[in-house]
Chains A and B, each alone.
Chain A
Amino acid sequence: MDGSDIVLEVKDLVTTVKMGGHEVRLVDRVSFTLRRGRTTAIVGESGSGKTMTALSLLRLLEPPVRVAGGTVRYLGRDLLALTERQMAEVRGARIAMVFQDPLASLNPVLRIGFQIAETLRAHRKMTRAEAERRAVELLRHVGVPDADARAMDYPHHFSGGMRQRVLIASAISCGPEVIIADEPTTALDVTVQAKILHLLDDLRQEAEASLLLITHDLGVVAAMADDVAVMYAGRVIEQADVDTLFHAPRHPYTRALLACAINLEDDRNTALEPIAGAPPDPRRRPSGCPFHPRCPDAIPDCRRIDPPLEAVSAQQSVACIVAQRAMADA
């Protein structure tokens, strides 16, 4: 995988929040890359900083939360260095985002058609009529029945699933190269989840865009992702292509996560093993490796050394001294 197909490269991203006088790190030196036409998933428990990472890419943070370091290169340009006006031109046009809670993500007092046309007119020279017509086509394209009439309705006339389709239509309206989807289906019921995920995947392939999928559901990762980054306590603790990760997880946390997931293929009715303890509070993060208090393989060094993310093979990197040492010996 040479560098030419890299669309988005995030290096040592740090995002902090000002709490009681000192800066607390929510995202701690996160790095990953997005390749053209591929889906990268960021997975982790809630509070691991994955949503914060996504919001940092598009600089959608409000005080007291802010991006404190690192670079986000998109087609060679560092987004963090852009002015607010330049960033506005990127948002929605080049990098679009779909959010988690469809119920609250649409403006309740504006018509659906208008809210999609609004995105088009923000980036394209279009008359209102043209934008509205395009909006209806987009609605039809994302599977909203009777799009012509429904465009004139208001958000509260739509179900959760339908609203997510509207948000997706709005996101893809300007043909973005990158779509960030922050837990797009978590708030939906299971039957609708699959449809939305398929829709996202089809649209991504159609536009040859790359998808950054934020989720805590390993099932979704398995179904959708090409590459995966596992986050814990604000850091990426393991990164690999999806097959390597599922079949040869190196980091104890990743293995624990996989153990929690129901594996239909496996006929043994093994009991699910919950991970003891809970993710650390960002204000009182443990020294050394943040996972060591809950880590079954922890060794004394884990408490001292803060493990960097190191490549252990062409497709896999891990931030765990025990794993790194094991690889070195083998």
Chain B
Amino acid sequence: MGHRMAVPLLIRVAIGAALAIIQPTATPQAQAAGTLIWGMPSETDTMDPHATGGWTTYQITYQIFEGLAKEDLTKGDVPTPPLVPGLAASWEISPDGLQYTFKLRPGVTFHDGTPFDAAAVKFNFERFWDKSSPNYYPKAASFVVAYAKWIKGMEVLDPMTVRVILTAPNYEWLRQGLQSYGQPLMVSPAAVKAYGNEGIALHPIGTGPFRFVERQQGVRTVLERNPDYWGRKAQLDRVIFRPLQDPATRVNALSNGEVQMISTPPWDEIQGLVDDGFKLSTNPNVPYINYLYLNMKQDVFKDVRVRRAVNMAIDREGIAREIYRKTGRPEFGLLSPGTDAYDPGFRSYKYDPDAAKKLFAEAGYPNGFKVVFEIPQVGTGELVESWIQRDLKKVGIDVELRKFEWVTYMGRWAGGMGQDIGMNEIGWGMSTPAWINIVARCDTMAPDGQNSGYYCNKEVDALLSQALTTRDPAAAKALYQKANRIIMDDAAYVPIVDDLQPIMLSPKVHGFVNPPEDWFDLSTVSVD
């Protein structure tokens, strides 16, 4: 009864199997007609539009859900996405700017066949705004707060008409509902009743040009064309969103034909891909400024001359030219591109290291000082951060980089800089000029807002509040620009570069539009 030895057998089997697999099958994957596979830098979180905040998530939910108003993302050559009727065919704003009466679009159904009407709108508003309603969902309320905090009341006039009363006039209110951090898009009430507030994230039912098919967490999220869509129907049969965290893998997947589109390609690989025949798509007005906060509570930064000197010491043009190349533009203000208030010609501080050194000396720091610069793991990236560190070193400022893992960094950034921290950074912006309120008002100082550097200038707050209540966009623009000038004169922030949102596309992709927004309308796209 000697032992039957399986080892030699095992070896033969394993080698045999391995060889059988490697025989060459040269053709790249067969391409289903009209399917776009998009390689994204990270997995998206829950697909409940009311309860999510990530840009990458809106890149999917924008295809499934729609709001009463909508941004037209099919135009790339406009300074800001035009505001167009969505599920509301039309709306009127009362002269005092307090009442918005929406005429709903008739004949629209949700993907689950249930009708879209005033009752559905009421259900959605109760979900993210009305604490007294059984449909109230606290998580949604906390995400949609920027939009919902202006609502005083809401009433259904008839099955196809709804009126919303604001607490105060805010002519950016509609636009604020189409930004990140909680979008009040219309979710099918029947689906919420069927799957519950948490379950809706797994069964997203909206009215958009694409319908949800399935999601494999970390693998793919599949949408298909909605044949009954009320507007221009999508051309693609299906869209597949694939998280590919590693930049090298994203590039290789594109080259190997496993994806037809990737976002955030590594800057240094773009030229190589273009040479290989892939198309680079960018937009000059994407609302995305990479900027630094200076900690106004730190003594060194209380002196405006020091803040100005820091602004002068950093070579924005050099960073845009050498690192971002054709996918970045130097930025000198804090008004977000992609809005009608943005002025591309705005200038604040020229790159002048010698003048900066003089200013530091004048302010009492002839041989510079030490400053701690907190950065996130997935921020602008080491290339930019070390460039800034070198530029400041040249003028005597010794920068210590402290990198934090993303979630930890978010907590520290949202919570406001500690006393020992001099600077931190973020890449942000919105297609509404009102964004500047969130980051630069006295009353939005962290931890109650994203003014992480505790900048406070009463005059700026007054101008911004007035701008919100100015109906005429041109007049509002003048106010925002005046505020922007004051902020940059105070030099409380150090804007660096606008990211032009580079997207690499396979030559097989047609009709893709890169709009002045952080997500895209895929219904115009087709793949041969």
Indicate yes or no for A touching B, C-beta below 8 A: yes
CA distance A114 to B1 in the complex (A): 8
> Which residue of chain A has the shortest Cβ distance to B1 in the bound complex?
A114
In the assembled complex, the CB of A55 is this many whole angstroms from the nearest CB of chain B, namely 26
Interchain nearest-CB distance for A120 vs B (Å):
13
Q: Mark A170-198, 1 if CB is under 8 A from B, else 0.
A: 00000000000000000000000000000
Q: Give a binary string over A110-121; 1 marks a CB under 8 Å from any B CB, 0 the rest.
A: 100010001000
| B253 → chain A closest CB, angstroms | 51
Question: Any chain B CB within 8 A of the CB of A128?
Answer: yes
Interface class of chain A by DSSP: helix
Q: How far is the CA of A118 from the CA of B2 in the complex (A)?
A: 9
- Considering the complex, which residues of chain A in the window 6-50 have a beta carbon less than 8 Å from any beta carbon of chain B? none
A182 to B503, CA, bound (A): 83
CA distance A281 to B149 in the complex (A): 100
Nearest-CB residue, chain A, relative to B2: A114
Chain B residues whose CB sits within 8 angstroms of the CB of A114 once the complex forms: 1-2
Chain A proximity mask over B501-525: 1 for CB below 8 Å, otherwise 0: 0000000000000000000000000
Closest approach, in angstroms, between the C-beta of A85 and any C-beta of chain B? Answer: 21
**Complexed CA–CA distance, A110 and B2 (Å):** 8
Cα(A128)–Cα(B1), bound, Å: 8
Cα distance A251–B25 in the bound complex, in angstroms: 83
Q: Which of B1-22 contact A (CB under 8 A)?
A: 1-2
Complex CA–CA separation, A289 to B1 (angstroms):
55
In the complex, what residue of chain B is closest to A118 when comparing beta carbons? B2
Closest CB of chain B to A72's CB: distance in Å? 32
How far apart are A151's CB and chain B's nearest CB, in angstroms? 12
Q: B3 to chain A: closest CB distance in Å?
A: 8
**Docked pose: A110 CA to B1 CA in angstroms:** 10
Would you give the shortest CB distance from B520 to chain A, in whole angstroms?
A: 67
In angstroms, Cα B527 to Cα A28, docked, is: 87
Residues of B within 8 A of A128 (CB): 1
1/0 per position for A257-275, CB-CB distance to B under 8 A?
A: 0000000000000000000
**Residues 243-280 of B at the A interface (beta carbon under 8 Å):** none
Complex Cα–Cα for A118 and B1 (A): 10
Near B by CB (< 8 A), chain A positions 85-137 give: 110, 114, 118, 128
Query: Chain B residues near A118 (CB, 8 Å)?
Result: 2
Complex Cα distance, B73 from A164, in Å, reads 92
Taken together as a complex, chains A and B put the C-alpha atoms of A128 and B2 apart, in Å, by: 10
Closest to A111 in B: B1
Whole-angstrom distance between the alpha carbons of A110 and B3 in the complex? 9
> In whole Å, how far is B113's beta carbon from the nearest beta carbon of chain A?
70
Point out the residues of chain A lying under 8 angstroms from B1, CB to CB. 114, 128
CA distance A114 to B2 in the complex (A): 8
Q: Min CB distance, B2 to chain A, in Å?
A: 7
State the Cβ distance, A174 to closest chain B Cβ, in Å: 19
Measured CA separation A106–B1 after assembly (Å): 17
Residue of B nearest to A121 (CB): B2
Q: For window 192-240 of chain A, which residues contact chain B by CB distance below 8 Å?
A: none
Per the bound structure, the CA–CA distance linking A114 and B3 in Å amounts to 11
Give the residues in chain A near B2, CB-CB below 8 Å.
110, 114, 118
Q: How far is the CB of B5 from chain A (nearest CB, A)?
A: 13
Shortest Cβ distance from A153 into chain B, in angstroms?
14
CA distance in complex: A158, B366 (Å):
90
Query: Roughly how many angstroms separate A240 CA and B87 CA in the complex, as a whole number?
Result: 120
Minimum CB distance partner of A109 in chain B: B3
Interface residues of A in 124-159 (CB under 8 A from B): 128
| Set of chain B residues within 8 Å of A110, measured between Cβ atoms | 2
A300 → chain B closest CB, angstroms? 63
The docked-state distance in angstroms from the alpha carbon of A77 to that of B2 is 34
A9 shortest CB reach to chain B, Å: 37
Closest to A132 in B: B1
Q: A16–B1 Cα gap in the complex (Å)?
A: 40
A129 to chain B, nearest CB (A): 11
Separation of A118 and B3 alpha carbons in the complex (Å): 13
Q: Separation in Å of the B50 CB from the closest CB of chain A?
A: 67
Q: Say how far A132's CB is from chain B's closest CB, in angstroms.
A: 9
The residue on B at minimum CB distance from A128 is B1
| A48 CB to nearest chain B CB (Å) | 39
Measured CB to CB, the closest approach of chain B to A127, in angstroms, equals: 12
Q: Once bound together, how far apart are the Cα atoms of A310 and B312, in whole Å? A: 109
Nearest Cβ in chain A — how far from B119, in angstroms?
A: 78
Shortest distance between the CB of B381 and any CB in chain A (Å): 59
Minimum CB–CB distance from A176 to chain B (whole Å) comes to: 23
What's the minimum C-beta distance from A58 to chain B, rounded to whole angstroms?
23
How far is the CB of B209 from the nearest CB of chain A, in Å? 70
Distance, CA A9 to CA B1, complexed state (A): 39
**Alpha-carbon gap, A151 to B1, bound state (A):** 13
Measured CB to CB, the closest approach of chain A to B146, in angstroms, equals: 73
Shortest Cβ gap from A76 to chain B (Å): 36
A15 to chain B, nearest CB (A): 33
| Nearest CB of A to B388, in Å | 66
Shortest distance in angstroms between A239's beta carbon and chain B's nearest beta carbon? 44
Q: How far is the CB of B459 from chain A (nearest CB, A)?
A: 89
Contact indicator per residue, chain B 95-110, by CB within 8 Å of chain A (1) or not (0): 0000000000000000
B339, chain A: closest CB distance, angstroms: 80
Q: How far is the CB of A330 from chain B (nearest CB, A)?
A: 63
Give the distance to chain B from A224, nearest Cβ to Cβ, in Å: 36
Shortest CB-to-CB span from A133 to chain B, Å, is: 14
Instruction: For residue B38, give the distance in angstroms from its CB to the closest CB of chain A.
Output: 58
What's the Cα separation between A38 and B2 when bound, in Å? 37
Q: How far is the CB of B453 from chain A (nearest CB, A)?
A: 73
**A69 CB, min distance to chain B CBs, angstroms:** 38
CB distance from A126 to the nearest CB of B (A): 14
For residue B197, give the distance in angstroms from its CB to the closest CB of chain A.
Answer: 63
Question: Contact flags (1/0) for B154-172 with A, using CB distance below 8 Å?
Answer: 0000000000000000000
5 residue pairs A–B, Cβ–Cβ below 8 Å = A110-B2, A114-B1, A114-B2, A118-B2, A128-B1
Residues of B within 8 A of A (CB): 1-2
Nearest 5 A-B pairs (CB), nearest first?
Answer: A114-B1, A114-B2, A128-B1, A110-B2, A118-B2
